[in-house]
């Protein structure tokens, strides 16, 4: 089903340093926007995606580890796109539009090794309609359930979900590096702060009541919604805001002072449909992609 959308996803994974990057290569004429719901995002080209800005096309989205250092991986993606004649046409050159957002994984692996320009290029070479999920790419060094203290964390990861309704297809990928626990659709914890084989929040009504010290700017969930719906740039922005509900459904607590969440939406503008249908399906696949990440990463 995913191959019908025209997007390709590629990873670069460094298992030794526990970091990596992920690229989403977009088909021609893709429109995109984003919504930032976190307090401490690390990013590149996000302001360009604001609904009132002129440029609406997006050629790739990069999700990367390495905190702000990892933004360098976007340079390799731009080089790959330029070599393939892809970019926004200006009077003198085609300029690839590559919005990028990071997660903080420097506290997990080797903080001196971060995704580079060359790693971003390698991720493009690996891009395909068939891709890995779990502890790969930008999800390699991610963790969840840090509200009770870093020592009680579990793996986060890179997850995927997709749904089709008639001709409409809505999918999402998620890089999960949250303070909160991950819960299923019934609110049951499936990954998070755990001690002696038991989830700590099972005995705590309010997670932050423990008053643990949590580092600001070290937790982020990154999401990219991909669809064939006919959306404008303003629509894509609104879908990003609605898809943010999926984070709230799957992560408890979500959007805390310690998280830097970013939600992208990219659309190929092929299928006429109702906005509300796309919005609700987006929230659904985002929640499922988050759950998929931790299920695959904690087997």
Lowest mean pLDDT segment, chosen from 32-46, 200-214, 242-256: 200-214
What's the whole-number average pLDDT of the chain?
A: 93
pLDDT, position 25? 98
Domain 2-297 has CATH 3.60.70.12: yes
Predicted confidence (pLDDT) at residue 211 exceeds the cutoff of 60 = no
Per-residue pLDDT tens digits for 25-78: 999 999 999 999 877 788 899 999 999 999 899 999 999 999 999 999 999 999
User: How far is residue 93 from each of residues 16, 47, 48, 96, measured CA to CA in Å?
Assistant: 39, 21, 18, 10
Lowest mean pLDDT segment, chosen from 167-171, 205-209, 229-233: 205-209
pLDDT, position 13? 98
Q: Percentage of the chain with pLDDT > 90?
A: 82
pLDDT, position 208? 65
**Strand-pair category, 100-102 with 60-64:** parallel
Predicted confidence (pLDDT) at residue 204 exceeds the cutoff of 90 = no
- Whole-angstrom Cα distance, residue 191 to residue 254? 14
Predicted confidence (pLDDT) at residue 209 exceeds the cutoff of 70 = no
Question: Hey, where are the domains in the chain?
Answer: 2-297
Lowest mean pLDDT segment, chosen from 34-38, 52-56, 186-190, 209-213: 209-213
């Amino acid at each position: 089903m995913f191959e019908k959308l025209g997007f390709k996803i590629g990873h670069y994974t460094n298992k030794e340093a526990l970091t990596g990057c992920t690229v989403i290569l977009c088909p021609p004429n893709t429109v995109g926007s984003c919504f930032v719901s976190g307090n401490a995002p690390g990013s590149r080209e996000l302001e360009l995606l604001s609904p009132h800005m002129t440029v609406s096309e997006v050629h790739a989205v990069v999700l990367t580890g390495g905190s702000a250092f990892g933004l360098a991986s976007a340079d390799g993606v731009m080089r790959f796109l330029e070599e393939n004649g892809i970019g926004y046409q200006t009077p003198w050159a085609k300029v690839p539009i590559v919005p990028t957002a990071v997660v903080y994984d420097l506290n997990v692996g080797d903080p001196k090794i971060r995704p580079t320009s060359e790693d971003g290029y390698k991720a493009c070479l690996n891009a395909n309609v068939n891709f890995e999920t779990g502890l790969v790419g930008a999800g390699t060094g991610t963790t969840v359930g840090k509200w009770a203290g870093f020592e009680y964390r579990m793996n986060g990861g890179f997850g995927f979900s997709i749904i089709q309704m008639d001709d409409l297809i809505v999918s999402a990928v998620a890089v999960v590096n949250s303070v909160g626990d991950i819960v299923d659709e019934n609110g049951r914890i499936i990954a998070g702060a755990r001690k002696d084989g038991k989830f700590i929040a099972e005995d705590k009504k309010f997670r932050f009541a423990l008053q643990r010290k949590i580092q600001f700017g070290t937790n982020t969930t990154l999401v990219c919604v991909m669809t064939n719906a006919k959306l404008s740039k303003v629509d894509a922005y609104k879908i990003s805001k609605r898809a943010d509900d999926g984070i709230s459904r799957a992560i408890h607590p979500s959007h805390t002072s310690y998280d830097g969440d970013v939600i992208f939406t990219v659309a190929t503008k092929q299928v006429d449909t109702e906005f509300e249908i796309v919005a609700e399906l987006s929230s659904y696949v985002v929640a499922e992609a988050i759950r998929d990440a931790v299920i695959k990463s904690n087997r």
